[in-house]
Amino acid sequence: MTRANPILRFFFWLIVSIFAGTGLLILAIYLFLAPTLPDTQELKNVELQTPLRVYSADGLLISEFGEKRRSPLTYDETPKQFINALLASEDDAFFEHFGIDLKGLARAVVELIRTGRKKSGGSTITMQVAKNYYLSSEKTFTRKFTEIMLALKIEQSLSKEEILELYINKIYLGKRAYGIEAAAQVYYGKSIKELNLAQLAMIAGLPQAPSAANPINNPQRAIDRRNYVLARMRTLDKITAEEFEEAAREPVTARYHGATSEVTAPYIAEMVRRDMLDRYGDSAYTAGYNVYTTVDSKRQQAANRSLQSGLLKYDRDHGYRRHDNKAPFTLLTVGTDELLQEWLTKADTSRDIDWPATLDEWSSLLRNSNELGLISPAVIASVEDNGAWYYQSDRLNWLPLAGMAWAKPYIDVNTIGKEPESARDVLTAGDRVWIEQSNDGPVLAQIPEAEGALVSIRPDDGAIQALVGGFSFGSNKFNRAIQADRQPGSAFKPFIYSSALANGFTPASIINDAPVVFEDKSLENTWRPENHSGKFYGPTRLREALYKSQNLVSIRILKQVGPRTAVNYIEPFGFPRSKLNADLSLALGASAVTPMELATGYCALANGGFAVKPYIISRIEDDNGNILYNAEPDVVCHDCEKESPADAEVAAEELLTIEQELAALEAQQEPDAETPANIAPRVMDARTNFLMISMLRDVVRLGTGKRALALNRSDLAGKTGTTNDQKDAWFSGFSPDLVTTVWIGFDQPSTLGRWAYGSNTALPVWVDYMSTALDGVAERPFEQPEGIVSVRIDKETGLLAAPGQANAMFEYFREEDVPKEPAKIITPAGGSNSTAEPELTPEQLF
Active-site positions read: 90, 490
Q: How many CA atoms lie within 13 A of 136 on its CB side?
A: 6
Q: Are strands 290-293 and 52-55 parallel, antiparallel or unpaired?
A: parallel
Cα-Cα end-to-end distance for the chain: 137
Check: CB of residue 104 under 8 Å from CB of residue 120: yes
Amino acid making up residue 567: V
The CB density around residue 712, as the number of other CB atoms within 10 Å, is 9
Name residue 397's beta-bridge partners: 390
For residue 788, how many other CB atoms are within 10 A of its CB?
A: 16
**How many CB atoms within 10 Å of residue 268?**
27
The DSSP H or E segment spanning 465 is strand 464-468
Three-state SS at 554:
helix
Taking a C-beta distance cutoff of 8 angstroms, is the pair 794, 807 a contact? yes
Cα gap 313→209, rounded to integer Å: 50
Cα distance between residue 34 and residue 29, in whole Å: 8
How far is it, in rounded angstroms, from Cα 2 to Cα 683? 115
Residues 121, 118: Cα–Cα separation, whole Å: 7
Whole-angstrom CA distances from 391 to 214, 376, 799, 803 are 29, 11, 70, 74
Q: Which class for 664: exposed (0-12), middle (13-18), buried (19 or more C-beta within 10 A)?
A: exposed
CB 452, CB 307: distance < 8 Å: yes
**DSSP states of 420-444:** PSSGGGT--TTBEEEEEEETTEEEE
CB-based burial label for 518 (10 Å; 0-12, 13-18, 19+): middle
Secondary structure class of 483 (helix, strand, coil): helix
Can you tell me the distance from the alpha carbon of 630 to that of 634, in angstroms, rounded to the nearest whole number? 13
d(CA 92, CA 239): 14
Q: Which residue in 461, 493, 486, 467 sits closest to 603, CA to CA? A: 461
Q: Burial, 526: exposed, middle or buried (Cβ in 10 Å; 0-12, 13-18, 19+)?
A: exposed
Rounded to 5 degrees, what angle do the CA atoms 209, 215, 217 make?
Answer: 75
Tell how strand 61-65 and strand 290-293 pair up.
unpaired
Q: Show the 3-state SS of 575-641.
A: CCHHHCCCCHHHHHCCCCECHHHHHHHHHHHHCCCECCCCECEEEEECCCCCEEEECCCCECCCHHH
Please report, for the chain, how many H helices and E strands are present, in that order.
Answer: 24, 23
**3-state DSSP assignment of residue 565:** helix
- Contact, 375 vs 445, CB < 8 A? yes
| In contact, 329 and 341? CB cutoff 8 Å | no
Neighbours of 811 (CB within 10 A): 24
Strand partners, 327: none
Amino acid at 309: S
Report whether 742 contacts 766 (CB < 8 A): yes
SS3 for 398?
A: strand
Do 56 and 297 form a contact (C-beta atoms < 8 A)? yes
Q: Is there a contact between 464 and 297 (Cβ–Cβ < 8 Å)?
A: no
